[in-house]
Amino acid sequence: MQSENPTAAILVIGDEILSGRTREGNAHHLAQVLSATGFDLREMRIVADDHDQIVAAIRALDRSLGGAYDLLFTSGGIGPTHDDITADAVAAAHGTTVEINDEARILLQARCDRMGMELTPNRLRMARVPVGGTLIDNAVSAAPGFSIGNTHVMAGVPEVFRGMVDWLIPRLPGGQPVQSETVEVRRGESDVAEQLEEMASKFPDLSMGSYPFRDERGWGTNLVVRGLDAARVSFAMSELRRELGL
């Protein structure tokens, strides 16, 4: 699929994801949001809570650091505990240091005051932001994410992550949302592969994919056409349906 939309990558950080202890859902959610708002997601990675791995991944993915993509979104590792090292790694990747951000401290102090809690050193860790970074709002628990360069750093807790995404994405310059149409056929994937390949060659500007499934009626395949021009997608789908005798 041809696209001039901003390119993006997602970096998920956390030992708990790699161990299987926690089911990853943040990248899936963000992928849907990016597609709907005109960002071309090209890559997802998962790395451990390891400083050097995080730094290497950020440098490889953030174009402002010579990496591959216009935008990088991260999830995880900005909490109050010793293994929350994302802020330090992001700062190192961007050639800066971490400090207590005054605005973030005020937000955390206000939340602690409302809840009758002390702003302990561990809680204050969540106000640590790379020098030069700007805050990403957290309407759920106040502890902010942050942006620096083309890297946008968000929490791993799903509810907080989604709130940060809702705040951040409208503030970024997107492109054309992806349009898609799907047709279900009660045939195996191999039975429609030839027709799908022929249609893909006729419409090189579009993306066509096949996704087999099995239900109580047996095997079937969802055929999906994706592109930026809704009329073009609809026309290609009509041609595909005709080719399949639907």
Would you say residue 4 has pLDDT above 90?
A: no
What's the pLDDT at 3? 77
- Say what angle helices 158-168 and 26-37 make with each other, to 10 degrees: 20
What's the pLDDT at 246? 86
What is the DSSP code string of 52-102?
HHHHHHHHHHBGGGT-SBSEEEEES--SSSTT--HHHHHHHHTT--EEE-H
Would you say residue 224 has pLDDT above 70?
A: yes
How far does the chain reach from its first CA to its final CA, in angstroms?
24
What's the pLDDT at 234? 97
Q: What is the mean pLDDT of residues 79-83?
A: 90
Would you say residue 100 has pLDDT above 70?
A: yes
115-149 burial by CB neighbour count: b if 16+ within 10 A, else e?
A: eeeebeeebbbbbbbbeebebbebeeebbbbbbbb
Q: What is the mean pLDDT of residues 134-158?
A: 97
* pTM of this prediction exceeds 0.85: yes
Same fold, 7-171 and 179-243: no
Residue 1: pLDDT band by 50, 70, 90 thresholds? low
Give the span between the Cα atoms of 41 and 106, in whole angstroms: 34
Neighbouring-strand partners of residue 13? 47
What's the pLDDT at 236? 96
Q: What is the mean pLDDT of the chain?
A: 95
CATH 3.30.1370.60 fits 7-171, yes or no: no
Q: What residue ranges do the domains of the chain occupy? A: 7-171, 179-243
| In contact, 223 and 236? CB cutoff 8 Å | no
CATH fold for the domain made of 179-243: Alpha-Beta Plaits (3.30.70)
Separation in Å, CA 235 to CA 35, 61, 199, 202, 239: 21, 35, 11, 12, 6
Summarised one tens digit per residue, pLDDT across range 155-179 is 999 999 999 999 999 999 989 999 9
